[in-house]
Amino acid sequence: MLLRMHQISKSYGPVTANDQVSIELHKGEILAIVGENGAGKSTLMKILYGLEQPDSGTICLNDRQVVFHRPSDAMAQGIGMVQQHFMLFGSMTVAENVVYRKETRKGLFMDHRRNQALVRELSQRYHLPVDPQAVVDDCPVGLQQRIEILKILYQDAHIIIFDEPSAVLTPLEVEDLLKTMDQLSRLGKSIILITHKLHEVMAVAHRVVVMRDGRVISASDTSETSLEKMSYEMVGRQIPTRRMTPPAVGNPLLEVAGLSLKGEPGTITLHDIHLQLRQGEIVGIAGVSGNGQSELIRCLAGLQAYDAGQVMLNGTDVTRASAGTIREAGLAHIPEDRYAWGSAPAATLAENALVGAEGRPPFSRRGILNLRQVNAHAAHLIQGYGVKAASLFQQMASLSGGNAQKLIAAREIARKTPVLIACEPTRGIDIGAMEYIHGQLIEKRDQGDGVLLVSSELSEIMDLCDRIYVMFEGRLNGEFIRGEVDEKTLGLYMLGGNRHAPQTALG
């Protein structure tokens, strides 16, 4: 047996993150670990990678017990981890990043030619094409992930942990990644894949372990399980398929006319954006991430200045207004980066659930907070959205990633504003919570509000949106009505494959 983690337990205060968890990994095997948000997957991987120490339990490599106090201990034993946030130096070349700390030198100086040759050789051996001389910042996300993988292979890792690796990738990049994992396993590498995307598990993994509440619920060959069985084991119930009623469309709530932004060098420029969101509809912005969606939403939310254009929100002109004024005028916003924009990691859950409403009754009067109301509000959101938390007063940073996302979504949806902009609202979220958040967005639309959904998940856009804009290289280059477009056509527009005039659905 290559790796055996035996009866691993780990608690954080009252929370048992891992409860006597045992897993095994064979040479050349791809093992997927799935489970609800907060099930304990990341904790188990942090223990394997030496980032955390277990309270009890053992790790054996090739039947020999090992103890990892820090990641360098794990790396020295051939364990590498592809993290969600890449650990690369953006201004350095691919080769410099891959050989970092294990460079070949000529006297005092780096032997660039030799390092590049080593990286070229490595990239050929593992069928992972890269240009060793390219600068990392110029590489798209999928390529940066490939550089991370090469870095780990250069350090001779034979066990590679992938922590939700597809969350940041485009559909084509995901296909490439799955191929890469398959190739690596054929070349004798062993892989642990943490993911919420069950179809990826079925496509690439040999075995799958399902975790719930810190425990292992099942371990099976993927050939002997199914999507339905896995999802049932994860959340303990059947996930219903949803049917949407036709939209009852009303007046415009958000109107954007001629919005343009001249980006800094190296950033996206927005060209003459026109869009409309009306009462009672969910409008999607589909697109491969990095095509200007983030810039557009930052402009609409008052987080970035733009050069031209007019924005009307619920009848008020909010052109170039501040973020606070725009929120007051009726905008709620689930931002794409939950930590940078959406929450204060060092503040408590109760504080994070309140943000933005602290100046208003019933939460405060004459500048004095009513803590009973504040706490009751947070408890209500936490319960409703199934946020796994030990206390209202724990730090936001101690929540698992998916649970942090659930709390932010809960806070913004609960504001009951006429317009909600939801950016990647279900990224990193388990299928049960995803179904719940989708239900909340539909309910909001059915109550006559408008939802602008920005998502790089085509299936999410297709399932929820009444109308869909496609964004490519800073332009809206297509507009479609639900049911009148298939995934293939949308995919084509997302890649700029249509070069004729934009199609409009509203006339």
Q: Looking at beta carbons only, is 10 or 298 nearer to ligand ATP? A: 10
Under the binding rule (CB under 6 A), the answer on residue 425 touching ligand ATP is no
Binding span for ligand ATP by CB under 6 A among 11-19, 313-321, 370-378, 481-489: 11-19
Exactly one of 43, 145, 222, 426 binds ligand ATP (CB under 6 A); which one?
43
Residues contacting residue 72 through CB under 8 Å, at least 6 positions apart: 50
Residue with the two structure tokens 């090469």: 150
Ranked by CB distance to ligand ATP, the top (closest) residue is 402
- How far are the Cα atoms of 1, 15, 286, 395, 449 from residue 280, in angstroms, in the given order? 57, 41, 19, 36, 5
Between 180 and 403, name the residue whose CB sits nearer to ligand ATP.
Answer: 403
Tallying the residues shown for the chain, one arrives at: 507
**Smallest separation (angstroms) from ligand ATP to the CB of 182:** 24
Task: For residue 38, state whether it binds ligand ATP (rule: CB under 6 A).
Answer: yes
- By beta-carbon proximity to ligand ATP, the closer residue of 36 and 295 is 36
User: How far is Cα 278 from Cα 452, in angstroms, rounded to an integer?
Assistant: 10
How near is the Cβ of 55 to ligand ATP at its closest, in Å?
A: 13
Q: Which is nearer to ligand ATP, 17 or 288 (CB)?
A: 17
d(CA 403, CA 429): 8
Q: Which residues pair with 215 in a beta bridge?
A: 212
* Shortest distance in whole angstroms from residue 161 CB to ligand ATP: 12
The Cα–Cα gap between 245 and 39 comes to: 34
Q: Is 453 in the site for ligand ATP (CB under 6 A)?
A: no
Minimum Å distance from CB 350 to ligand ATP?
15
Q: Does 41 bind ligand ATP (CB under 6 A)?
A: yes
Measure the CA–CA gap between 127 and 121, rounded to whole angstroms.
Answer: 10
Residue 479: CA count within 13 A, CB half-sphere: 16
Least distance to ligand ATP, CB of residue 29, Å: 21
Residue number, 214 or 247, with CB nearest to ligand ATP: 214
Stretch that binds ligand ATP, among 10-18, 81-89, 221-229, 337-345 (CB under 6 A): 10-18
Return the number of other C-beta atoms located less than 10 Å from residue 180's C-beta.
21
Q: Is 448 exposed, middle or buried (0-12, 13-18, 19+ CB in 10 A)?
A: middle
- Using CB under 6 A as the binding rule, whether residue 42 contacts ligand ATP is answered as yes
Assess 40 for contact with ligand ATP (CB under 6 A): yes
Q: Which of 5, 17, 420, 490 binds ligand ATP (CB under 6 A)?
A: 17
For ligand ATP, the closer CB: 22 or 489: 22
Closest CB to ligand ATP among residues 37, 456 = 37
Shortest approach of ligand ATP to residue 398 CB, angstroms? 3
Where in 383-402 is the site for ligand ATP (CB under 6 A)?
Answer: 388, 398-402
The 3-class SS string of 5-64 reads EEEEEEEECCEEEEEEEEEEECCCCEEEEEECCCCCHHHHHHHHCCCCCCCEEEEEECCE
Taking the least distance from each CB to ligand ATP, the nearer of 132 and 402 is: 402
CA angle 95, 166, 389 (to 5 degrees): 120
In 281-364, where does DSSP find H-type helix?
Answer: 293-300, 323-328, 349-354
Taking alpha carbons only, the member of 279, 286, 334 closest to residue 462 is: 286
Contacts with ligand ATP: how many residues (CB under 6 A)? 18
The SS3 call for residue 260 is strand
Say whether residue 335 binds ligand ATP (CB under 6 A). no
**C-beta of 37 vs 440, nearer to ligand ATP:** 37
Distance of CA 400 to the CA centre of its chain: 13
CA 135: distance to chain centroid?
A: 25
Output 52 or 412, the one with its CB closest to ligand ATP.
52
Task: Please state the closest distance from residue 17 (CB atom) to ligand ATP, in A.
Answer: 3
- Is 35 a residue that touches ligand ATP (CB under 6 A)? yes
Smallest separation (angstroms) from ligand ATP to the CB of 96:
31
Count of CB atoms situated within 10 Å of the CB of 491? 17
State how far the Cα of 395 lies from the Cα of 1, in Å rounded to an integer. 39
Which of the residues 144 through 203 are near ligand ATP (CB under 6 A)?
Answer: none
Strand bridging mode 79-82 / 159-163: parallel
Q: Which of 32, 39, 152, 181 binds ligand ATP (CB under 6 A)?
A: 39
**Window of 37-45, 96-104, 463-471, 472-480 that interacts with ligand ATP by CB under 6 A:** 37-45
Residues 401-420 that bind ligand ATP (CB under 6 A): 401-403
182 Cβ neighbours under 8 A, 6+ residues apart? 30, 204
Contact 281, 445 (CB under 8 A): yes
Q: Rule CB under 6 A: is residue 342 a binding residue for ligand ATP? A: no
Among the residue ranges 40-48, 61-69, 181-189, 462-470, the one whose residues contact ligand ATP (CB under 6 A): 40-48
Q: Which of these segments, 30-38, 199-207, 300-308, 452-460, binds ligand ATP (CB under 6 A)?
A: 30-38
User: How many helices and strands in the chain, by DSSP H and E?
Assistant: 16, 24
In angstroms, what is the minimal distance from the CB of 195 to ligand ATP? 9
CB of 401 to ligand ATP, least distance (A): 4
Furthest-apart CA pair in the chain: how many Å? 73
Q: Which is nearer to ligand ATP, 401 or 418 (CB)?
A: 401
Residues 6+ apart with CB under 8 A from 107: none
Q: Where on the chain is the footprint of ligand ATP (CB under 6 A)?
A: 12, 15, 17, 35, 37-43, 388, 398-403
